[in-house]
Structures are given as structure tokens and as C-alpha cells.
Chains A and B, each alone.
Chain A
């Protein structure tokens, strides 16, 4: 496998602020790299450097083997960019926006129109095709933005917080689009503040904070960082909660917690703990409504890594 893009030791300062303090990012072809971090972590700055919009003060980056500074023109042929900043023109219709980009990508006008129609249909915007983009809803705008970045069939697609501000159903739609892009062989760099989004889409995740990568790995590896697994039990009869807590405490060898009404949880390190708990609860004749073994959420991972919640400002 070859790398679709690679950034090494990127540093970027804006006046006294250090946006990037030496960041490495890379993704193999046909995979999704999730770049996860809170507002102001440096996600957008990194994307802008990889998209040739901004020059790094130090470090280097390549896309498809081309240097983002020296071979910027070649890089621009390979990439598609969608973000809150790389937006469409509000006064133009959906079709006009996409045809314009097609023409700028040297498609013949006829081909540009065909491509526009195709993308509008794929993104379910055919009915709105001839309306100015300013009349679009938020979700439609995002879809048009994404369509605009796909006109040239980019091999590498940057999605900078593509679902921020979208309602849950629209997010699911967007996730479906990202998955199909990857199925088609594209490589995606996805920045997000949402841990569930990175978990759902990314093959690899780089967690960044204050301009540095503070963790990198598969979603499963990152979950390992936050400690082992957690057993959760919800008895049918809430009155039997103390009994359940005692069993969990004995098996796990530590104090169980009660994070919600009628639920007890305890973190465990041993793989045999879960079957033991199941057996003991059965022996005690306690009916359960819910009994599960789960990995820590990425929220917990982030908290472990940085000592603070992932999403402080937004959402």
C-alpha cells in the first residue's frame, strides 16, 4: 500500500499563536484518517496546508507523492476540499456552481453540465438544481459543498467538519456518502469534534490537541488506551441493585459505580470477569433487563489523554 498523503513535522504559527506544533499525519490509499480534536486544536490549519491554501513554517507534506508547496498544481489536481470555509457561491444555483467548477477543471461545457447533473442527482439535489444556493437548507448546502469538491473525481478528499451543525439524520446521510467514497477508492481526511463520527468512519484516528498529535491508532487501539472494558448491569427490580453492586465489586475487586438510575457499572481488566458475573447473577436469581460488556467511548479516551472533555465549546 502506498500513502495517499503524508505530513511530517508541520509547524504553523500565526503571530504569537502556535496553531501547529509539529504534526505528523498520514493515510494509506482508500482509507479514512480521522483527525479528532476540539475547536482550535489545529485541525483546519493542517487541512489547509495539505490543500495548498496555506504554507507551513516548518515540515513538509506530500499528496500522491507531490509536494504541497513545490508541486502545488499537481496536488490541486488530486484533491477535493469541503469545509465551512471552502464554500459554494450563494448567488449561483446548484447547477451553476458545479458547472463553473467543472469548467475550471478543464471539462468541456457539455461534460461539465453532465457531471453537475450526475452529482446533483446523487446528492438528491436535482429538484433544487436551478435555485440559488442561498435558498438551500443547511443540509442541502453541505451536500452541494461536498458535490462541488467531487466534480474532478479527486483521489484525496478533505472533509473539514462535514457534519458540524447537522441534525442526526443528516449526519447519518453524510456518513453514508463518506463510506461510499471510500468504497470507490478515494482516500478521505475527515476532521471532526465528534468522537462517534471518527469511531464510525475512520480506519485510523489521530487525536490532536494544541497543535500536536497526542494519540494515534485504530479506534479499537485508542479505546484500549482509556483502560479495559466496562461491565454494565441493569436489574429488572431496582431494589436488587445493592446485591448486584456487591457481586460486581467482588468479581472486579474494585468499587462499582452507579452512573444512572437502576444501573451499576464497573471497569474490569480480566477477560474472565464477565462470564463470572453472569454466572453469579444467575445463581443469585436476579433478573436483568440489561447486561453488557462495553469498550470505553472515545469521549472517555479523550478525557484520559487530555484530562478534559473533548467538546468544551461546541455541540
Chain B
């Protein structure tokens, strides 16, 4: 449009009209602005953090006190084996909420507003994923706090333990893209959740989370060995409680990057198409 339209102060006001100043890193800024939105929503409705805080605590209680004695002879030894793995499981479960709330947003029309703005199509999705990293942090903090109270101790050093947490968060943010894709494709938030759990159960329980791999039947061992979640759990264990790290950290990182590279563009693509 070539004509500049004159406006009165009620609509014009402070900032100059016309083209906005050309500013760099637009995608990053837009994504961060939208991430802040997700964060505000989380803070405003803390009750939606119940699942990411109480559920892992409940798992720990059930597994350690109900099964721990039978599985490993001592509850404290089992806690040491289990807790880093539960940490991985709980952030993966926490990741479902991103797909769920994204689906709700798309249905409610909040995203139509974003789609009518001159921003990258990927910005709202990246923003959601970034904003929900806070949920992972809360989940891990609560779990470690609870673990500490019932006798879990970090066997390495704070730096390695921190590395474990960061690795787990990075992996979970990769997994989040799978649920973002679900959230963009599916019609109902409930369907997103249901399908997500179908994916999550084999991924999280089909690991060495609860028992060592060599106690499993052969076909299950085969699955556990190719399941990337096993690597992440092993890496978290090694970094938090000691023991050989091996190639688990590298494998975890590679898997994370691989999942993002595949699922993030897919999610953006389907989001772009969604009516």
C-alpha cells in the first residue's frame, strides 16, 4: 500500500506507524515472547503442575516401597537405581501437556490471532516448547527433593548431577515435539493425551528403568536395547550416582537432536496446513 493514512490520536498514539523497525532475530524474539505467555499460564494455574509433581513421587513410593525389597533386596539400593530413571520418565510424561494445551489453543482460536500476525509459523510452536521447559524443571526439583528426603544421595558431584538434569530436560524437549505434532494433527485434546500415553508406556516402561536389562526375556531385551530412553536413563544414572558413562550421553544427545530434526519440521508443516 502506497498511501499513508492519517489517524487521530485515539488510534495513533505513541509509536510511529508504518513499517516496524527492522530488527534482527525476529523468530527468536517472537518465540521468547510466546514462551513467556506459556510460562505465565503455568504460573497462573499451578494446579496443572500436580501431574508433573505428584505423579513421579507416587511412582517412587510405589516402586521403592512396594517392589524395591523384592527386586533388589534393599530399598535404599533400589532408590539409587530407580530415581534417575524415574526422573526421565516424569519429564516425558510432563511433555504431554504441551501437546494438550496446544491443541486446546488451536481449538479456542487463540492461535488464529497469532496466525493473522506477520510472524513465522513456527514461532507459536517453538514458544510453547520453550515455555514448558519450566514444567520439567519443577518436576525434577520436586522429585530430587523428595528423593533426598527418603535417602537418595548424589554419588558424583553437583556439576555432573546438573549435567544429568540438563541432558534429561533436553531429551524431554525433543520428545515434546512429538506431542506438539499430535496436538497439531488431532481434533480433540483428549485424543492427544490418549495417544501420547500409548506412545509413552512402551517408551518409558520398556527400559531398564525398573530392573536390569539382562533379567528380561530376549524379545524385550531387544526392544530395551534399541529404545533411546534406556540410554537417557543410563546416562542420568551414571552422571548422578556414578558408574561408567560410556557412550550413553552421546547417544542421548544424538537421539534428542534426531527427534527434533524429524518432528519439529513435521509439526510446523501440519500446523501451517491446519484450517
Contact = CB atoms under 8 A, between A and B. Distances in A.
Contacts of B37: 89, 92, 96, 100
B5 to A, nearest CB: 4
Given A92-B37, A183-B8, A184-B10, A53 B112 contact: yes
A186 B4 CA distance: 11
A59 interface: no
A24 B46 CA distance: 49
**Among B30, B112, B117, B123, which residue has the most Cβ atoms of chain A within 10 A?**
B117
Q: 9 closest pairs, A vs B, by CB? A: A64-B1, A85-B109, A185-B5, A106-B20, A76-B118, A103-B33, A184-B7, A86-B112, A111-B15
Interface residues of A, number: 51
A107 B20 CA distance: 7
Interface residues of B, number: 41
Given A114-B13, A115-B15, A104 B6 contact: no
A106 B24 CA distance: 10
Interface of B: 1, 3, 5-8, 10-15, 17, 19-21, 23, 26, 29-30, 33-34, 36-37, 40-41, 44-45, 108-110, 112-119, 123, 275
A184 B13 CA distance: 12
A28 to B, nearest CB: 12
19 contacts: A29-B3, A65-B1, A73-B118, A77-B19, A77-B118, A85-B112, A104-B114, A104-B117, A106-B21, A106-B29, A107-B20, A111-B14, A122-B10, A153-B7, A180-B11, A181-B11, A184-B6, A184-B8, A184-B11
Nearest to B14: A114
Contacts of B21: 106
Interface in A102-127: 103-107, 111, 114-115, 118, 122
Given A86-B112, A132-B44, A150-B11, 8 more contacts: A51-B116, A78-B1, A89-B110, A103-B30, A104-B114, A114-B14, A122-B10, A153-B11
Nearest to A145: B113
B6 A185 contact: yes
A218 interface: no
Contacts of A186: 5, 7, 11
Interface string A260-289: 000000000000000000000000000000
B13 A118 contact: yes
Interface string A145-187: 0001010110100000000000000000000000011011110
A106 B15 contact: no
A107 B115 contact: no
Given A88-B113, A100-B34, A122-B10, A153 B17 contact: yes
A214 interface: no
Contact of A148 (B15, B33, B113, B115): B113
Contacts of B15: 107, 111, 114-115
B118 A87 contact: no
B275 A54 contact: yes
Nearest to B22: A106
A187 to B, nearest CB: 9
